[in-house]
Amino acid sequence: MLPPPSQHSGPRGGRRRPLRILTWHVHGNYLYYLGHVPHTFLLPVDAARAPGYSGRAGALPWGDNMVEVPVAQLRDTAFDCILFQSARHYLEDQYELLSPAQRRLPRIFLEHDTPQRHPTDTPHPVDDPETLLVHVTPFNALMWDNGRSPVRVVEHGVVVPPEVRWSGELPRGIAVVNNLLQRGRRLGLDVFLQARDQVALDLAGMDAESCGGLGEVPNPQLAAFLARYRFYFHPVRWTSLGLAAIEAMMVGLPVVGLATTELVTVVRNGREGYVDTDPARLVEAMRQLLADPAEAARLGAQARRSAQERFNIERFVADWLDVFAEVTS
């Protein structure tokens, strides 16, 4: 049985009370990292374990603070705030599942992605001065038309096993993209396939087999799997900053990718890897890394240092504690 919700909140920056936060399983790896925040997260589940309602699904080592709640019991469940992570849950499901009193609780919408309809002129589905809109990158916040909603940015935070380090003995590159065939040009299907014709590249992720790839690697095994590869390839034209790319950097892989979206602030040429808008120049950079393991090691070491500084889980947790304290104070 869950404890009753707290009846008061402490001052911002002071001792923070434990909260109970309703959210949905939209992005499994992100939800796992969010679970490092020392609050209780209530995950609605239905009988079919449908998308968004799968709870503690998959191979991730969920913490005890991730608690499943059947959708039929949501109206009778007490919580302190709502963290939306998809437009459908915000625009439709909350009205079907929650009581009017619950819908008046503090609200946050976590936006994982870039706008899809138009890069600069897409209004965000949340246009509410009473709902805090949190973006995962400054680039995303810049590109969305955020309307009247107050905006914060909480950049990613990731964890990899501390004993896993880049070895790079496999003279190949690796890309990790889920459902690449289905998502097509936006995620760089053509860029990946053209590059693979010229250099040794593997693809991992959901349904990677449909592109001649290796298939999905369970998250707990991903860091050690990546560590053998010479470099990480990020062929994506238009999406948010991928968690797998950050995890690869944490392990010590240099990154080669398209100079689009937030990646241009993460990877500097000759420091953490190479970025460019010309795929031909990226192929040349990949060939150099395959031919020069020492250079790959140098770039990868800097990539690891940069990722540890910017995307460490302690900073991520502190940022989210501030957000939750802000909306509930």
Strands 40-45 and 107-111: unpaired
Q: Which residue has the tokens 């994982």?
A: 112
How many angstroms separate the CA atoms of 300 and 80, rounded?
A: 42
pLDDT of residue 1: 32
Angstrom distance (rounded) from CA 80 to CA 93: 18
Structure confidence at residue 7 (pLDDT)? 33
Q: Which of 134, 164, 138 is nearest to 247 (CA)?
A: 164
Model pLDDT, residue 10: 40
Per-residue pLDDT of 117-170, as tens digits, reads 999 999 999 999 999 999 999 999 999 999 999 999 999 999 999 999 999 999
Residues of the chain with pLDDT under 50: 1-14
Neighbours of 63 (CB within 10 A): 15
Q: What is the pLDDT of residue 59?
A: 85
The beta strand positions in 34-146, using DSSP E, are 40-45, 66-70, 81-84, 107-111, 131-135
